[in-house]
A and B are shown apart, each in its own frame.
Chain A
């Protein structure tokens, strides 16, 4: 029993230590954004890698999410004779919850894992050490542009997800199931208030920063060769997804 408590205590302590190390890593990374040299080209490269390359998968996910929500929503609302509220149901769900959360999870799976693998390989092949010995700060050169790119790209991807999701819902609700186009969009305009949009933006900013922070931190601290890279990549995807859901609850309760 004492052993179990000791193990539990040690694990809790390790989590707190790692969380502290991650926060210091984040502050160092963001702080270096204010220190020259500035490398705008590196930032653009990372926005391309993290953002542009995730666009297709985010659009695909957004389209099918909107379509399935319209399908489910239509038959539920029809029981109460409220099919006209389909547009607002789809839009509110997407903008408040599904858009930021699913975009975050897709970016984590596609770009977060790639970021960890890239930095992890740089660690085990001494490329990060090489930067350091050339008097180039590896956190400033490698990590900082990725953090900024995450903060910039994920809200934009979320907006794309929302728009494509709404169009997906339109395709199923209006074109396939016969809901009136006017009521689909007018319901949306009436029910979505600016706070819903701000909430979605804040969530996507936080999720973007969280995903890329976890990805960079895990990659930067990779050890033990190829197996270490594989482990770090796996941890990135799992931890990012869990943190997205935890943050989602915290932020939703804040905005409600």
Chain B
């Protein structure tokens, strides 16, 4: 279970996270929604240890992340898989090398075993073997996302983080990526946190939804509960009302 307690963060005097309290149950997908620039990615970067909070705690399976530093923190992250917004594939490596990278760096598997696992992931992501030798700049946006998802999943992480996984993708590819997320979750049963503003598609993959607004969680519950939430701000965001976006 991931538990966030009273998390605060300011940048240059501007409070981005203002006392976040949120619990993400084990084995379920929690989606944090909210308009662009509201601090969703900042929240995610705190949980994966890329940013340090001004105050508050991030507790993962009983371990307070803020107490971990350096190598200890890095080793703790071996339990994570992260799908970054732009994929964050390494430009200098081809698709095969990108997916194999975590295995080559962090395991003692033989090259034969690594190749077997990489190809299994390629099949899982519906990618042909021809893409293996392509470099990231030769791939479409959807292919990049699928390769990045394959790399994030290659070590079978206990916890997956998705930062805007379908931003910039066309509707069929959006559905494909959400389908792959649902499929991999069903197969592996990992705990997941996704930040996204892609409504209503995220409701199809989420077990829990929380809405972030002005640095605070203003609503949390099942997708149905959020869709029927009485808060006008929540309803305004779901319906894409202009007044709310300007507010």
Contact of A133 among B80, B85, B90 (CB under 8 A): B80
Let me know if A126 is at the binding interface, CB within 8 A: yes
In the complex, which residue of chain A has the Cβ closest to the Cβ of B102? A134
* Residues in A neighbouring B90, C-beta threshold 8 A: 122, 127, 130
A1: chain B residues within 8 A (beta carbon):
none
Chain A residues lying within 8 Å of B101, measured Cβ to Cβ, are: 134
Query: In the complex the two chains form, is A127's CB within 8 Å of B74's CB?
Result: no
Which size class do A's interface residues fall under?
10 to 19
Given contacts A121-B91, A127-B90, A129-B50, A136 and B82 within 8 Å (CB-CB): no
> Most chain-B Cβ atoms within 10 A of its Cβ — which of A127, A132, A133, A137?
A133
The answer to whether A136 touches B105 (Cβ under 8 A) is yes
Is B48 located at the chain interface by the 8 A CB criterion? yes
Task: Give the complex CA separation of A133 and B82 in angstroms.
Answer: 7
Q: Which of A122, A129, A135, A137 contacts B84 (CB 8 A)?
A: A129
List A34-49 residues whose CB lies under 8 Å from chain B.
37
- A78 to B230, alpha carbons, bound, how many Å? 96
Q: Which of B46-100 contact A (CB under 8 A)?
A: 48-50, 71, 74-75, 77-78, 80, 82, 84-86, 88-91
| A181 contacts chain B at the CB level, 8 A cutoff | no
Measured as residues with beta carbon below 8 angstroms from the partner, the interface class of chain B is 20 to 34
Chain B residue numbers with a CB within 8 Å of A126 are: 84-86, 88
A137 to B77, CA, bound (A): 11
The reply to whether the CB of B14 lies closer than 8 angstroms to some CB of chain A is no
Q: Which partner residue on chain B sits nearest A124 by CB separation?
A: B86
Q: In the assembled complex, how far is the CB of residue A27 from the closest CB belonging to chain B, in whole angstroms? A: 14
Contacts of B50 in A (CB 8 A): 129, 132-133
Note all chain B residues with C-beta closer than 8 A to A37.
105
In the complex, A14 has a CB within 8 A of chain B: no
Specify which of A121, A129, A130, A137 is in contact with B74 (CB 8 Å cutoff).
Answer: A137
A125 within 8 A of B: yes
Roughly how many angstroms separate A37 CA and B78 CA in the complex, as a whole number?
16
Given contacts A135-B106, A136-B105, are A130 and B77 in contact (CB under 8 A)? no
Across-interface contacts of B45 in A (CB, < 8 A):
129
In chain A, what residue has the closest Cβ to B78?
A135
- Bound-state CA distance A97–B102 (Å) is 46
Q: Could you list 5 further interchain pairs (A-B, Cβ under 8 angstroms) beyond the known A129-B88, A133-B48, A135-B105?
A: A132-B50, A133-B80, A134-B101, A135-B77, A137-B71
**Contact residues of B with A, CB < 8 Å?**
45, 48-50, 71, 74-75, 77-78, 80, 82, 84-86, 88-91, 101-102, 105-106, 161
